[in-house]
Amino acid sequence: MKEPHAAKAIRNLKKARGLMDAVVKMAEDKRYCMDIIQQCNAITGIMQQTKNLILESHLETCGSKMASKDPAVREKFIKEILRACNVSQRKG
């Protein structure tokens, strides 16, 4: 990953890990369900931001493949990006 995306992504991942630990503790302590859901939503938001940062870095560093004269290289890169975007759109 390219800076500043790498530092931001790592910071977000560490935040998500901390939130995840907190959510596990909340569930173990049988806290109010809506409070747990709110924290799960926060984790989901941070992870979406992180995926976007990583994708942006990838486009900046590997996006030159789009300029390739080889149509197979361009097609492979396009499919890779589409696959990543489809994964990020999944609900789960």
Phi, psi of 32 (to 5 degrees): -55, 130
pTM above the 0.95 mark? no
Residue 75: predicted pLDDT? 86
DSSP state of 2: -
Band (90; pLDDT cuts 50, 70, 90) = low
Q: Dump pLDDT digits (tens) for 6-37.
A: 999 999 999 999 999 999 999 999 999 999 99
Q: Dump pLDDT digits (tens) for 31-71.
A: 999 999 999 999 999 999 999 899 888 888 888 777 778 88
Integer Cα distance of 65 and 92 in angstroms: 32
